[in-house]
Amino acid sequence: MAAIKVHGFHASTATNMVLCCLNEKQVEYDFVLIDLLTGAHKKPQYLALNPFGVVPTIQDGDLTLFESRAILRYLAQKFKGQGTDLLGSTLSEEALVYQWCEVEGQSFNPPVSTIVSQILVVPRRGGSTDEAAVEMNIEKLGKVLDIYEERLSKSKYLAGDFFSLADLQHLPHTHYLVSACGKGDLISSRKHVNAWWEDISSRPTWQKVAENMKVN
């Protein structure tokens, strides 16, 4: 059987979620670099795979799939019997995983992605960081993390006492927030959030991905 092809970019948070998931599931893959810096994601060859022109996209046999969170669910289901079980072992556990995956996508991601974009991406494109937008989204993210702090005071991970997709989805943006944006105090100032972050960010499957994340 041919290896899964991952079309992506090493600095892309969405790509890195998928790579971490593949590592957790112990699935071999071929990485196809789509260089966002040269506009490769907007060229006809890539648009034929993903008409939205964003990364990542995977190819698994006859299946072509884009949208990183959809890819994560596909991989977690297809390879449920190997590597880390990222969905839980009961219907109730799976429901909680999906609930916290939605929280990440709807409540955590909007403010954190804005902060990371304003501090890291905008200046690299010749623009200036909108400090007011950064401050507003730090406030929003802080309120979300206060809810996480309460949740994580009662369970080791977001969906329960097992590492899942819900935790994995937080890795790339939080990595940039802490290591490249100078906003690690949002994490470290919250005891249980900090313990959770120290735990999930030290996983070898993530460390392998983080080594290739370029912020310069």
Two tokens at 95?
């429901």
Determine how many CB atoms are found less than 10 A away from the CB of residue 57.
Answer: 25
CATH assignment at residue 9: 3.40.30.10
In a domain, 173, yes or no: yes
Q: Is the pLDDT of residue 54 over 50?
A: yes
Q: Looking at the structure, tell me whether residues 174 and 126 fall in a common domain.
A: yes
Q: Across all residues in the chain, what is the average pLDDT?
A: 96
Q: Is the pLDDT of residue 177 over 60?
A: yes
Q: Is the pLDDT of residue 170 over 90?
A: yes
* Lowest mean pLDDT across 77-81, 87-91, 121-125: 121-125
Q: Is the pLDDT of residue 216 over 50?
A: no
Q: Looking at the structure, tell me whether residues 124 and 188 fall in a common domain.
A: yes
Burial of 92 (0-12, 13-18, 19+ CB in 10 A): exposed
pLDDT band of residue 214 (cuts 50, 70, 90) is low
Domain that holds residue 198: 91-210
Q: Looking at the structure, tell me whether residues 203 and 132 fall in a common domain.
A: yes
Q: Comparing C-alpha atoms, which of 112, 97, 191, 185 is closest to residue 144?
A: 112
CA atoms within 13 A on the CB side of 203: 20
Residues 5-33, mean pLDDT to the nearest whole number: 97
- CB of 88 closer than 8 Å to CB of 94: yes
Pick the last residue of a domain from 79, 108, 132. Answer: 79
- Give per-residue pLDDT as tens, 142-159: 999 999 999 999 999 999
Q: What is the pLDDT of residue 2?
A: 77
**What gap in Å lies between CA 157 and CA 97, rounded to an integer?**
10
- CB of 171 closer than 8 Å to CB of 116: no
Q: What is the pTM of this model?
A: 0.95
Number of independent structural domains in the chain? 2
In a domain, 86, yes or no: no
Q: Looking at the structure, tell me whether residues 62 and 146 fall in a common domain.
A: no
